[in-house]
Chain A
Amino acid sequence: MNRQAQSAVLFVLGAALLHAGLTDLYLRYVKAGLRPLVLAAGVVLIATALTTAWYEWRAKAKEQEHAHREPRVSWLLVLPLFALILVAPPALGSYSAMRTGTALQQSYGYTKLPKSGPVRLNLADYAGRAVYEHGRGLDGRQIVITGFVALDHAGSPYLVRMALNCCAADAQPVKIGLTGQIPPVLKPDGWLQVTGTYTAKRTKDTVNGGPIPYLEITQARPVPTPHDPYDETWNN
């Protein structure tokens, strides 16, 4: 790859990073805290592209030919460009969730629930309270949870949220089983906001044997994909 082509690749790569960082696109791939770094990398790549083009143009003006080429492996850099610009793959969904065992972990402590009214809980938070606290304080409360739908081989529905430490490569699912008034048609990967109550019913994840609690749902309504599709509470 000669310098002109390198300059073009660097420029488009930088622009793609800036585009991802300036929209919510980057949240499909990495955690929110990395935004400044992604933007800075985009700026540096564009600066490198511009200076490369400039020095190349100046060297040409001075007739200083140097046929120095970068190795063929550099061509691979066009792959992420196509992936990011043309395809912009979605955040990890039900396929990854059902291939991987639930990553539910015992939390160090749980915050106090509000005294009255429906409780809005993070999916992993509910799963932790249900499994490790045996639903203490949840009895008889209306619980509202958001997640995406995943179906196992037998077709039983789960509500899932992918928890992420750093980027999608380390994302792991936390699953809860759905029981009660399940909507007749469930589309995998569709986001749902379900309202329901705690139930002591449990099952084991077929992949890793991890615990999966259930939620007895009374109502389910489709919601758009959240800004940040991943659960990042584990970062803290």
Chain B
Amino acid sequence: MAVTKAPPRTRDTGEDRHPAPDPQARRLNSPLTLTLLMLLVVLCQGPIREALGAPVMQSWMTVFVAVLVQALPFLVLGVLLSAAIAVFVPPSFFARALPKNPTLAVPVAGVAGVVLPGCECASVPVAGALVRRGVTPAAALAFLLSAPAINPIVLTATAVAFPRNPEMVVGRLVASLLVACVMGWLWLRLGRTDLLKTPARHAYEGQGKGAAFWGSVRHDVMHAGGFLVVGAMAAATLKAVVPQTWLRTAAENPVIAVLALAALAVVLSICSEADAFVAASLTQFSLTARLTFLVVGPMIDLKLFAMQTGTFGRAFALRFAPATLALAIVVSVLTGLVML
């Protein structure tokens, strides 16, 4: 119970987002809130433990903590690598490495996602940087879609999460690459430059490399970590509270199962470094439905939609996101039919 009380408290502190007249007071605010929150919880330890003693709350918390303990190491690993690339690899390198012909550049950029590790939170700014450095938008978009889904960290996490189904790793790789390339080519044919707002600024200019690196790590952990908590809460609720018969009903119908997990992937917005573990926990669902979850999640979810809107503009995101979702579902089902 007490745990569910925490978010409203934090929401109070959200008021300090509005520019306050006195900067000194604003600076003090969040550490102070944090300290008060910690003190309050420590003081109320007894009642909190009692409230959490119910079996359903205990199961919920166990699954919640489990998803986080499981996913945090992979999140941290991905964040470290994406920070290293953002800081130590010059952006012009990517423009030079891609072929001049845009039709050819799309699959090359898509495949480049395999060697460039990073989670989807990192891939949006990287894709923005690529467009700014003169990479054709179609190739940058293929990279944007493929990199978070098929990089070595995500594929390793998938293999760890599905130890008995190595074909899931291959299925994820193939389906994600296909979607990324097709979306890139679609943009070449149908895309209009006026839809794409070119991003302008560079986040880490004017800082030392060390400061930029650790700043990027901190920023990504805080961002992605917060969304990961939301995902873990949803996974725990599904596992411990939602009656198993509901899940079974949804899982039994192959069409509903696929659509339900695609919708879940969009809503949960889990980091691609961690989503395999959530997918593995959805044991009632078919492998094809879970593959859909793994292909859709890194390409389009609520958090990514927000980030794409911010980076490339709303006109773009409103067209790009639904098209990606539909294509990802179709390709996952086809891949599932062939491979799983």
Contacts and interface: CB of A to CB of B under 8 A. Distances in A.
B65 A84 contact: yes
Report whether over half of chain A's contact residues are helix, strand or loop; otherwise say mixed.
Answer: helix
Interface in A28-53: 28-30, 34, 37-38, 40-41, 44-45, 47-48, 51-52
A168 B148 CA distance: 25
B64 A83 contact: yes
A149 B80 CA distance: 44
B69 A86 contact: no
A8 interface: yes
28 contacts: A2-B30, A4-B27, A6-B218, A7-B218, A9-B222, A10-B222, A17-B72, A30-B69, A34-B69, A37-B74, A38-B72, A44-B76, A45-B76, A51-B218, A71-B223, A73-B230, A76-B10, A76-B226, A78-B34, A79-B64, A84-B69, A94-B55, A96-B59, A101-B244, A165-B162, A165-B163, A168-B62, A234-B163
A28 B219 CA distance: 29
B66 A29 contact: yes
Interface string A70-90: 111111111110111011011
Given A76-B226, A78-B34, A87 B49 contact: yes
A111 interface: no
B11 A72 contact: yes
B223 A74 contact: yes
A92 B31 contact: no
Contacts of B73: 34, 37-38, 40-41
A148 to B, nearest CB: 13
A48 B217 contact: yes
A166 B62 contact: no
B69 A67 contact: no
A151 to B, nearest CB: 12
Contacts of A234: 163-164
A47 B213 CA distance: 12
Instruction: Tell me the dominant secondary structure on chain B's binding face.
Output: helix
Interface in B225-241: 225-227, 229-230, 232-233, 235-236, 239-240
A45 B69 CA distance: 13
Contacts of A41: 72-73, 75-77
Contacts of A94: 55
Interface in B116-175: 160-164
B270 to A, nearest CB: 12
A175 B226 CA distance: 37
B69 A17 contact: yes
A126 interface: no
B280 A75 contact: no
Interface of B: 3, 6-7, 10-11, 13-14, 17, 23, 26-27, 29-31, 33-34, 37, 41-42, 45, 48-49, 52, 55-56, 58-59, 61-70, 72-77, 80, 160-164, 210-211, 214-215, 217-219, 221-223, 225-227, 229-230, 232-233, 235-236, 239-240, 244, 248, 277-278, 280-281, 283
A7 to B, nearest CB: 8
A38 B70 CA distance: 8
A-B pairs, 9 with minimum CB distance: A73-B226, A95-B55, A168-B66, A169-B281, A37-B73, A29-B66, A75-B10, A41-B73, A167-B70
Contacts of B61: 83, 87, 89
Contacts of B161: 165-166, 170
A177 B26 CA distance: 61
